[in-house]
Structure 1
Amino acid sequence: MANTRFVISPLHVATDGLWLLHPSAGAARRGPGVLVRESVRERRLVLLESFFTGAWSYIPDFINPQPDQHEESLERELHAVATVDPARLAGEIGVMLAGDAGIGITGGRAPRALLRALDRGEADFAERVAAELHQLWQAAVLPYWPALRARIDADIARRAQTAARQGLAGMLAGLHPRVRYEEDGLRLAVDARGEICASSLQLTPAVFSSDLHIAVDPLPGSGRQRPMILYPALPGPDADPGPAPAPPAGDLIGATRARILGDLETPRSTTELAERHWLAASTVSYHLGVLHRAGLLVKTRTGHRTLYQRTQRAGSLG
């Protein structure tokens, strides 16, 4: 319990909004919640929709990489999703569909869209999930991010104040009615069953759903992820913020992608960009794929080389 810490994860904020797709979720009528549902439908984010509307009780952990620091960048998180170990991805999808009676996880039947995407291989599947998450972030979270981030900061500050006055046990017990701290550990009233002995615990405020979500790695092995609790953040001064002014390109697409895009007034290859920006070719390739799917790049083949150049639409980002 001494290693309990708060983490800020832009990707967890986005996926928290996806719980609004679940049949049991209440209908959001205005604000960011409406944008989440509309974005999934209008942009045809079929894999994200499949994850959060199925009958299973477990959502694969790879779509929410664990933060390595107090505040993670969206760019690093999306890269982790796109480059997840294929064996881990396959194992987590298997648990989602088949369930695990031993720990109380129920499975369900996979929709055709998910199965068709899996047929193309784990690597392609992971990249497509990362691309859909990026689209969701741009459409439904980014316009509200300053206000949502302020609410997250305020929640963490108030929880820290509670811990200072009432102790860590008092702070943990106040996270949610289904969280209870006892002498022998932390007890969570959730559907899954089991006992976890962990060296650390991560706490993440959620700003969309009002329920408690637990991230517990169901896969055996030495590389098991740390448990995480996603709890509803305390209401902020403005629980239904309006859209913020349009952000600069670096905030919209990430600093690294903004640099690459700015360097593509002249057509360049992946290898050339990797050398110019001191990045691995695989990293550059991933960023180019995101930019191309967003309609910000065109690519042409010249012999054995593929060249990328930014489009007119890219210039509108400023």
Structure 2
Amino acid sequence: MITIRLDAAAVSRVRVAVSPVMEAVGLLRLAAAGRAHPIFGDPGAAARFALRDPDVRAVAAALGTEDAWDFPDLLTPRPLPVRDVLSDQLERLRATDEARVEAQLTDMHRLRRWIPTDGFPARAAAGLARFFAVAMADQWPAHLTMLEGDVRDRAVQMATGGVGALLSSLHTRATWTGEAVLVRCGSEVHVDSTGQELVIAPSAMCWPDLLVQSQDPTDVVLFAPARSLGTPRPHRGVDRLIGPTRARLLNDLETPRSTGELAARHSLAAATVSHHLSVLHESGQVTRHRDGRRVFYQRADARVLA
């Protein structure tokens, strides 16, 4: 479980923004590993051609080739509210101090080979700039338009439902407790972001995953899968048996959630969610318990969607 603790000051500084460098890193990761994106498919010949550049290969080496998204956070500085976000991100990457480079590259214990830290920020910035120009520049306007639409949707959600509604709807693995963002994963990580800025960055390249950037408490970013690409569907058999909406709700009840939280996460009316939960409860698919004035539901058998 990753726990990102926020105080009132941090909550007041939550914002949503596009991270161009993360999109470049995501596509480069696929190209270097010879994998296809689950929606966009093959990274393309231009992406593979860009890997001939030694600086691009230096970045690819830092990404590793495993399934896990495990690479140094310094590669993806949080997007700031500036006119040219990509140039600003690459400049801040280039200016990364040696101590941070050493700490983060050393910490990436899954890297398949040793990476020299001397001059790495400059090489990484040059490599990402080269990769973006060769593999992404032509498609970037359309890609950016899609992500900016996601930013607007989340901004409306935050304006109408509050920060809690935004943080509760990032991903099925994420929960907002009122004091912390909890992200289910295979390790225990605690991040104290009190007083710091938290950026939510919709991403097409990380879809359908939720990525947490937390090595530096002052540079925390949650890369959330772009909503316009849809959500991963639950098991097709369950979908056909109980219907797509109930299947999605059931798929999201690995941990206890209230009616209001589910409504926010799935953009449904609370009354609609309540009806589906009643049916699921009556059929024995979910359990429920009361905590004060709130009722929480949880999947009765975690193996039901296996």
Return the TM-score normalized by structure 2.
0.61
Aligned partner of 1:212 in structure 2 is 210
The alpha carbon displacement at 1:71 in A equals 5.7
Stretches of structure 2 that go unaligned for 5 or more consecutive residues are 1-10, 231-306
What amino acid does structure 2 have at the position aligned with 1:212? Answer: L
Match of 2:224 among 210, 215, 231: 231
Q: Does residue 46 in structure 1 map to residue 41 in structure 2?
A: no
Look up the match of 1:272: none
* Alpha carbons 1:212, 1:231 under 8 Å: kept: yes
Contact 2:31 2:48 in 1 (8 A): no
**1:66/1:225 contact within 8 Å kept:** no
Flag the structure with more relative contact order, 1 or 2, with Cα contacts below 8 A and sequence separation at least 6. Answer: 2
- Equivalent AA in structure 2 for residue 234 of structure 1: R
Matched, 1:94 2:106: yes
Question: Could you list the runs of 5+ residues in structure 1 that have no partner in the other structure?
Answer: 98-106, 219-223, 238-318
2:170 aligned to which of 162, 170, 175? 175
CA contact under 8 A between 2:50 and 2:134: conserved in structure 1? no
Q: Which residue of 1 aligns with 2:142?
A: 147
Q: Secondary structure at the match of 1:203?
A: strand
Q: Number of matched residues?
A: 215
TM-fit CA distance, 1:31: 6.8
Quick one: distance in 2 between partners of 1:47 and 1:160?
36
| TM-score normalised to structure 1 length | 0.59
The secondary structure found in structure 1 opposite 2:199 is strand
Equivalence for 2:125: 130
Give the structure 1 partner of residue 16 of structure 2.
Answer: 6
Q: Percent identity?
A: 20
RMSD: 3.0
Q: Which residue of 1 aligns with 2:157?
A: 162
1:65 to 66, 77, 93: 77
**Structure 1: distance between partners of 2:18 and 2:82:** 6
Change (3 A) 1:61 1:71: farther
Matched, 1:110 2:113: yes
8 A contact 2:206–2:225 mirrored in 1: yes
Residues 63 and 19 of structure 1, relative CA distance in 2, 3 Å threshold: same
Verify: 1:85 aligned to 2:102, yes or no.
no
